Structure 1
Amino acid sequence: MDHAEFNDAVTALREGVYAGLPIVQAPGSDDGDVQGLPAPQAAAWRIGLDWDEGDLELDFRHFVDVVDTTRVSALIVGSWGESYEDDSSKIVGLLTEHADRFPALRSLFLGAMSYEECEISWIQQSDVTPLLAAFPLLERLEVRGGEGLLFPPVRHENLRVLRFESGGLPASVVRGVGDSDLPALEYLELWLGVSNYGGDATVADLGAILGGERLPALRHLGLQDSEIQDEIAAAVASAPIVARLETLSLSMGSLGDDGAEALLSGQPLTHLRRLDLHHHHLTDPMVAKVGAALAGVEVDLSGQLMPDETWRYVAVTE
């Protein structure tokens, strides 16, 4: 899956599609009539509570009782109740406990809730690596929210897509990803966020990812939404992994002229099919310079913001 295709997929999620399937709310324990549901393999099933009402455990157990979940390939987990106070460990436990009921599961989104349900930086997460241990055939894992998030190093043979959306991604998670062995991973996207919301990763924490030794199949790298985007751009300019990427995203952050200049002064980027720099603080001359230097690359320079050296902001924080 390349960057453009995945951007379409993210947009599709907002429009009611996930992993190429229409999103359907899983029947809850209070749903009397379960007639008329689609075939299990024909939907991306969403489990989650609306406005903290109900019991997610009861709903989940009802779902696995009335739907043949052995044919479910895509699952979306929304709010697990008071998600700003209670972490995701209970739903992670339910999924791992019932892993044998989901042998066909290939795509999983944990924490896919709107800001009305819970602001992204208030979502209380937990250790999500038990999901990878329980689902060895999983190909796509996406997690929203960084508070309390843990990702100790793992090995997983089949994961192709790994995404973390946050207003502040802990440095320990970044290091955990870099120290993991993910031989099939093609697409990695990290929303690094800001220090005020726990985004304390430094360029040094990105070292293993940028080295790429444990990511032999990686074709897209997104290091996004960062308040140190200039420093990241400078590190990417000499990173070994870049030579084998097809698409690269340094979008959504505080990228300015210094970062763009460092990027252009480093290793060649003309092999890329796409470079995403949207939401940036470049001056008009630098926008023109980037476009001219990478004339054969699809470069997204949309979302130009004021090139203020003293006050920049990233796209997603709270």
Structure 2
Amino acid sequence: MSAVEHLQELHGLPAFDFPGPDSKDELPAPETVAWRLAADPYDDDSDEEFGDVWDRFLDTVDPSRVRAIIIGQWGEAYEDDSTGIVEDLVDAKDQLTALEAVFIGDLEQEQAEISWIEQSDVTPVLAAYPELREFGARGGTGLLFPAVRHEHLRTLTFEAGGLPAEVVRGIAASELPALEYLELWLGVEEYSGTATVADLAPILSGGGFPALHHLGLRNSEIQDEIAAAVAAAPVVARLSSLDLSLGVLTDEGATALLEGQPLTHLQWLDLHHHFLSDPIAARLRDTLVPAGVEVDLSEPGRSWNNDGVVHRFTAVAE
């Protein structure tokens, strides 16, 4: 199963594909689903561009009752960035008065590799919707996230094959007093994943997001360094769940977790897609599972040696 798939839900609402103009099917009540809007440039049965889909959506569904929107393919997303999508959302702020959740870039690999998705500065969406509760985006290329303040955002997710350091620093410098759930796919340097542990320091210190109870620092080629930093990070004491999955975690990082501050207060610890030896994996289980922690150690990876160089891979890169 790929780590990059279409969202099945957003903000607790099931994803629903807004149908084409010829559909005769009855639409659900606007507030009961997360509306997925997309325009496939290679669909021989439709010549609609994304702007056409967007306008038809606002004319067909009562926008004042819409709670969640998922933006899928907006054309050739590997050539055209998400600036137009952001502008559409901002321009509709007086219509989408109940909007609580937005996700931009819900594309699968067959539509565009994750690192080919061209994003943009997405923070105008947060400024336009001060009551927004959840925001997420897929794709790190061209992504900008200068520091913001938002009073009500509870969930923030960025999925990327590489998340630029500037984006991570912007998130870390933001004031998000209601934020409970933060998930960052940090990725690899080859695909602009340039963030370091130092860039994460404000997040790990626990001072910036006082309501945080879930932290995901995933899909990283520096997962061992992150694990070592997490092992001593003040924020961990108030977390109920921790996700260090999809990366290249080895015995070095896992040992740091075992020898650091206690993790027995967690409800779950996700380490799936890892490169741990059986003895270290067993130590993690023996230490945490009896304390009631659900530990995911599935999908063990296999390192390989090429001319003396050990190679490991994140779950998602290109």
Normalised by the length of structure 1, the TM-score is 0.92
- Count of equivalent residues: 306
Correspondence list, 1:22-101, <5 A: 22-27=14-19, 31-32=21-22, 36-52=26-42, 53-101=47-95
Contact 2:6 2:108 in 1 (8 A): no
Q: How far has the Cα of 1:257 moved from its partner?
A: 0.4
Q: How far has the Cα of 1:137 moved from its partner?
A: 0.7
Q: How far has the Cα of 1:16 moved from its partner?
A: 4.2
Does residue 313 of the first structure (1) align with residue 313 of the second (2)? yes
Q: How far has the Cα of 1:35 moved from its partner?
A: 6.3
Correspondence list, 1:107-256, <5 A: 107-256=101-250
In the alignment, structure 2 segments of 5+ residues that lack a partner are none
Correspondence list, 1:272-283, <5 A: 272-283=266-277
Q: Which ranges of 4 or more aligned residues in structure 1 deviate by more than 2 Å? A: 13-28, 32-35, 51-54, 306-309
- When structure 1 is superposed on structure 2, of 225-234 and 305-314 the one drifting more is 305-314
Normalised by the length of structure 2, the TM-score is 0.92
Report the 3-state secondary structure (helix = DSSP H, G, I; strand = E; otherwise coil) of the residue aligned with 2:127. helix
Does residue 19 of the first structure (1) align with residue 15 of the second (2)? no
Query: For 2:11 and 2:272, how far apart are their aligned partners in 1?
Result: 24
Contact 1:51 1:117 in 2 (8 A): no
Q: How far has the Cα of 1:15 moved from its partner?
A: 7.4
Contact 2:65 2:98 in 1 (8 A): yes
Q: How far has the Cα of 1:17 moved from its partner?
A: 3.6
Contact 1:27 1:34 in 2 (8 A): no
Query: For 2:49 and 2:111, how far apart are their aligned partners in 1?
Result: 16
Deviations 1:117-159 (A, max 9, x none): 1111100000010010001111111100000000000001111
Q: How far has the Cα of 1:177 moved from its partner?
A: 0.7
Over 3 Å counting, the alpha-carbon distance change for 1:33 and 1:276 in structure 2 is closer
Query: For 1:228 and 1:77, how far apart are their aligned partners in 2?
Result: 30
Contact 1:124 1:149 in 2 (8 A): yes
Q: What letter is aligned with 2:312? A: R
Q: What letter is aligned with 1:310? A: V
In the alignment, structure 1 segments of 5+ residues that lack a partner are 1-9
Query: For 1:25 and 1:230, how far apart are their aligned partners in 2?
Result: 39
Q: How far has the Cα of 1:14 moved from its partner?
A: 4.4
Does residue 106 of the first structure (1) align with residue 114 of the second (2)? no
Contact 1:92 1:131 in 2 (8 A): yes
- Cα RMSD of the aligned pairs, angstroms, is 1.8
Report the 3-state secondary structure (helix = DSSP H, G, I; strand = E; otherwise coil) of the residue aligned with 1:101. coil
Report the 3-state secondary structure (helix = DSSP H, G, I; strand = E; otherwise coil) of the residue aligned with 2:275. coil
Identity %: 56
Report the 3-state secondary structure (helix = DSSP H, G, I; strand = E; otherwise coil) of the residue aligned with 1:100. coil
Alignment match, 1:7 = none
Contact 1:162 1:187 in 2 (8 A): yes
Correspondence list, 1:260-275, <5 A: 260-275=254-269
Query: For 1:293 and 1:33, how far apart are their aligned partners in 2?
Result: 55
Q: What letter is aligned with 1:42? A: T
Report the 3-state secondary structure (helix = DSSP H, G, I; strand = E; otherwise coil) of the residue aligned with 2:166. helix
Q: How far has the Cα of 1:23 moved from its partner?
A: 2.5
